[in-house]
């Protein structure tokens, strides 16, 4: 009985460790990495990009002073800080509920502000931003 409980505990701990490795454990070293590589100022953001097992559709702020983006689809040390023209653009047309939108819309926004989708299918991806 006690042996079983012990084994179970070991097993649970291992599962936990496995699940955790992508994030917590490597977190600090990984977070440091962006500024360990030089910024490539004339680079071009790639959206979406993968960073730390997550997918990003716009510039991100990860322990950096400003928002930045990856220059490769999967981050590999090439990055730049985002300036106005680097942020993700609206994607037109996009699909929202049962309609196709060719411009920013206030539909569905609680504050009546205009927004757009950053992918063609808002229903599926739910990635969006406010329009200027």
Ligand X SMILES: *[C@@H]1O[C@H](CO)[C@@H](O)[C@H](O)[C@H]1NC(C)=O
Binding-site size, ligand X (CB under 6 A)? 5
DSSP alpha helix (H) spans, the chain: 2-20, 26-36, 122-125
88-112: burial string, b at 16+ Cβ within 10 Å, e else: bebbeebbbeeeebeebbeeeeeee
Residue 116 near ligand X by CB under 6 A:
no
Residues, the chain: 132
Site residues for ligand X, window 26-85 (CB under 6 A)?
40, 43, 71-72, 78
45 or 88: whose CB is closer to ligand X?
45
SS3 for 12?
Answer: helix
Report in angstroms how near the CB of residue 83 gets to ligand X at its nearest.
Answer: 16
71 or 118: whose CB is closer to ligand X?
71
80 or 104: whose CB is closer to ligand X?
80
Closest-CB residue for ligand X?
Answer: 72
Cis peptide before 93 (omega within 30 of 0): yes
Rounded to whole angstroms, the Cα distance separating 128 from 109 reads 11
Report in angstroms how near the CB of residue 32 gets to ligand X at its nearest.
Answer: 20
75 or 115: whose CB is closer to ligand X?
75
The answer to whether residues 48 and 60 touch, using CB atoms and an 8 Å cutoff, is no
Give the interface with ligand X as residue ranges (CB under 6 A).
40, 43, 71-72, 78
């Amino acid at each position: 009985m006690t042996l079983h409980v012990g084994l179970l505990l070991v097993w649970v701990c291992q599962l936990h460790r496995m699940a955790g490795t992508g994030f917590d454990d490597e977190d600090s070293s990984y977070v440091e990495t962006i500024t360990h590589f030089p910024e490539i100022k004339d680079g071009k953001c790639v959206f979406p990009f993968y960073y730390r097992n997550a997918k990003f559709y716009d510039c991100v702020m990860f322990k950096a002073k400003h928002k930045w983006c990856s220059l490769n689809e999967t981050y590999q040390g090439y990055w730049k800080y985002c300036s106005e023209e680097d942020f993700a653009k609206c994607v037109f047309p996009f699909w929202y509920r049962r309609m196709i939108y060719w411009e920013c819309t206030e539909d569905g926004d609680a504050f009546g502000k205009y927004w757009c989708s950053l992918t063609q299918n808002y229903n599926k991806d739910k990635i969006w931003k406010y329009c200027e």
